[in-house]
């Protein structure tokens, strides 16, 4: 149980350290040595494997018979160990992680005939890992999901096998080959896999025992009921929080009985059995490659090379607390298989997983809020509907009526502009906090006296708003009636009378003010020669106002600028540009805006071929500028060149 306590502590630390990687958890490996199948052979024969203590063992070195190979694991169970010893020492401590929303897996590995199925299933007299784990897990969920606890728990089971690289549903054999998928969060799932809810161990037996008979088995020389497929029992534990923030957790437990590696020379496999043996050995070979890739830190781990390794992606190098139970045989005829299994177990011990809590937030589904007829009425209307007997009672009210009034007159019901779903959520939370009494935090509740004062204030404000609206409508109707009776009264009415909204004048948006930026040198020259008169911008003080009722526009004096250019200035500018086009060099032409090196060379070449330009518009024939470019060219250059020519003289 110490392992479970330390694992829980690591889980809590991983939640506290936001943004950090989950803490590592090494794959734990336990080795189980089965007794001799033939007791007489065991009494007379010799063991090729011998246990040294509870964690280490040794095996003879086939290269040098005078030496032994020593292995050390997390646990070693000898031939005298029982099913309870293996379960309590290695499997039971990881069940607590499922209630924390984490994944766990138990794998039985070893050669054929080493006792893997016996370790996982057992017998009615000696139950194995699977029935013991389900019994304890269901007991834990009943205790944690009892009334008064913060979580509600539910357990579901699925049972499948991988037979010749096909995923078959043992609970529904007619479903055919299933596919293995991966969701956006990296979790492995099988769409279409049957899930059966279980609440007791009797429910588990009712589903599991018929499904176990659907598993593919066959007889070989070493075993009369040899497993011809990898069996995977998937148990999901879903948790839902009863109170806010209504979190959800999901923990998955994989109980995997792997098919054993086979030497066809000893098993005598032929035909179909030989094909099954080839598929089993191939998947186990890929499993070894995955373990080697994880230990070496390779960039690509070949999970997808086999259906088995794809399904074990969470268990090896993933997010699960993994236990590998390596089953070995003591006979010398199994020596090579035993050495291979021990080497695989030693490599698997170095694989690092990173378990984390699978937790998410789910919006709590609230029941619709149903209000009675009195609750739908306002406070003043509810007061009118009360009978004379209720009015004689006065302010003192029974506690039950006060409690209902506190819910009926909740300030949250005044938020009519809020989203209905959010309003229902807040009302439900208000009732929940009110039902908790002094134990809960009264975030949305107030004392009765303050609540009544608040409701009275809100009612008075609503009545005042309605009274002002009615008064405004009466004034507008009165003004319209006077104008309809005698139009002359419109001129004689008092100045304090409000003008109807329909006749109010609306000002027209002012045009954007535009100005021409003149260089500082040109402004100084203009100031030095007062005789020069260049009018570019003219200031006016008139502005028109429009009325919505169709009356004549009014004029309002306001400063504004209007662009006025003298014709002489335009003619002078155009002549200046024409002289520059006919006489200027390519460098002089580049001084004009929108004329670069290429366009200047084209203008000079065109002038040599066709003669001088007669007018500025002839520039269109050069085919270097569009109409918009010519228009912007004229606007940008005429005024500046004309002003410069008037002050500086012709070039």
* DSSP structure string for 130-190: HHHHHHHHHHHHHHHTSTTSSEEEEEEEEEEEE-SS-EEESSSGGG-EE--EE-TTS-EE-
How far is residue 519 from each of residues 107, 170, 644, measured CA to CA in Å?
Answer: 88, 91, 11
Angle, helices 399-408/448-485, rounded to nearest 10 degrees: 50
Q: Residue 113 annotated as binding?
A: yes
400 is in an annotated binding site: no
Which H or E run contains 528?
helix 520-528
SS (H, E, C) 24-69: CEECEEEEEECCCCCHHHHHHCCCCEEECCCCEEEEECCCCCCCEE
C-alpha closest to that of 575 among 527, 535, 612, 526: 612
Coil/strand/helix, residue 309:
helix
600 and 625 Cβ atoms separated by less than 8 Å: no
Length of the chain: 651
110 is in an annotated binding site: yes
* CA dist list (Å): 93 to 1, 7, 104, 324, 383: 5, 9, 11, 14, 65
CB–CB of 79/330 below 8 Å? yes
Alpha-carbon distances, residue 212 vs 135, 165, 173, 220 (angstroms): 18, 19, 11, 19
Q: Is 584 annotated as a binding residue?
A: no
116 carries a ligand binding annotation = yes
Annotated ligand binding at 111? The verdict is yes
Report the alpha-carbon distance of residue 241 to residue 244 in Å, rounded.
7
Query: CA-CA distances (angstroms) from residue 94 to 7, 90, 146, 311, 558?
Result: 8, 8, 22, 20, 86
What is the spatial distance between Cα 307 and Cα 353, in angstroms, rounded to a whole number?
A: 20
Q: Under a CB-based contact definition with an 8 Å cutoff, are residues 132 and 145 in contact?
A: no
Sheet holding 56-60, edge to edge: 49-51, 56-60, 68-72
Please state the residue numbers annotated as binding site: 110-117
Please state the residue numbers annotated as binding site for ATP: 110-117
């Amino acid at each position: 149980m110490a392992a479970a306590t330390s694992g829980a502590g690591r889980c809590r630390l991983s939640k506290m350290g936001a943004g950090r990687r989950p803490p590592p958890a090494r794959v734990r490996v336990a080795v189980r040595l089965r007794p001799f199948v033939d007791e007489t052979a065991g009494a007379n024969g010799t063991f090729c494997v011998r246990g040294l203590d509870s964690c280490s063992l040794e095996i003879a070195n086939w290269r040098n018979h005078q030496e032994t190979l020593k292995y050390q694991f997390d646990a070693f169970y000898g031939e005298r160990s029982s099913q309870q010893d293996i379960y309590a020492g290695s499997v039971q401590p990881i069940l607590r992680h499922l209630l924390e929303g984490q994944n766990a897996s138990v794998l039985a590995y070893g050669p054929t005939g080493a006792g893997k199925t016996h370790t996982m299933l057992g017998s009615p007299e000696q139950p194995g890992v699977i029935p013991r784990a389900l019994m304890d897990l269901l007991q834990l969920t009943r205790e944690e999901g009892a009334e008064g606890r913060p979580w509600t728990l539910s357990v579901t089971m699925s049972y499948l096998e991988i037979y010749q690289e096909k995923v078959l549903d043992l609970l529904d054999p007619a479903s055919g080959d299933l596919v293995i998928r991966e969701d956006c969060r990296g979790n492995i799932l099988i769409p279409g896999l049957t899930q059966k809810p279980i609440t007791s161990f009797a429910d588990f037996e009712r589903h599991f025992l018929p499904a176990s008979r659907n598993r593919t088995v066959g007889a070989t020389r070493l075993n009369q009921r040899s497993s011809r497929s990898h069996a995977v029992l998937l148990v999901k534990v879903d948790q839902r929080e009863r109170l806010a923030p209504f979190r959800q957790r999901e923990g998955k437990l994989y109980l995997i009985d792997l098919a054993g590696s086979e030497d066809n020379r000893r098993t005598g496999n032929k035909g179909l059995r030989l094909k099954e043996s080839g598929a089993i050995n191939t998947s186990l070979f890929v499993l070894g490659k995955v373990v080697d890739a994880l230990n070496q830190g390779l960039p690509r781990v070949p999970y997808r090379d086999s259906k088995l390794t794809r399904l074990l992606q969470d268990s090896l190098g993933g997010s699960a607390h993994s236990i590998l139970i390596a089953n070995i045989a003591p006979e010398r005829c199994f020596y090579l298989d035993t050495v291979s299994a021990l080497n695989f177990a030693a490599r698997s011990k170095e694989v690092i997983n990173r378990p984390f809590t699978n937790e998410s937030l789910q919006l709590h589904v609230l029941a619709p809020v149903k209000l009675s007829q009195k609750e739908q009425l306002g406070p003043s209307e509810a007061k009118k509907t009360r009978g004379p007997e209720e009015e004689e009672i006065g302010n003192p009210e029974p506690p039950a009526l006060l409690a209902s009034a506190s819910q009926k007159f909740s300030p949250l019901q005044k938020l009519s502009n809020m989203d209905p779903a959010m309003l229902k959520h807040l009302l439900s939370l208000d009732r929940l906090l009110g039902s908790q009494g002094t134990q809960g935090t009264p975030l949305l509740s107030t004392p009765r006296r303050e609540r009544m004062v608040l409701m009275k204030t809100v009612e008075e404000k609503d009545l005042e708003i309605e009274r002002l609206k009615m008064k405004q409508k009466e004034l507008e109707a009165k003004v319209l009636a006077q104008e309809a009776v005698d139009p002359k009264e419109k001129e004689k009415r008092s100045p304090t009378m409000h003008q109807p909204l329909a006749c109010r004048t609306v000002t027209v948006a002012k045009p954007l003010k535009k100005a021409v930026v003149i260089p500082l040198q040109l402004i100084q020259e203009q100031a030095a020669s007062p005789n020069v008169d260049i009018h570019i911008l003219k200031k006016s003080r008139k502005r028109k106002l429009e009325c919505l009722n169709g009356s004549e526009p009014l004029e309002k004096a306001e400063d504004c600028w209007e662009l006025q250019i003298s014709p002489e200035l335009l003619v002078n500018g155009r002549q200046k540009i024409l002289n520059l086009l006919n006489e200027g060099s390519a460098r002089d032409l580049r001084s004009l805006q929108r004329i670069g090196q290429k366009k200047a060379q084209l203008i000079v070449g065109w002038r040599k071929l066709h003669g001088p330009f007669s007018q500025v518009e002839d520039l269109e024939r050069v085919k270097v500028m569009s109409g918009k470019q010519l228009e912007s060219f004229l606007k940008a250059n005429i005024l500046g060149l004309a002003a410069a020519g008037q002050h500086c003289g012709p070039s």
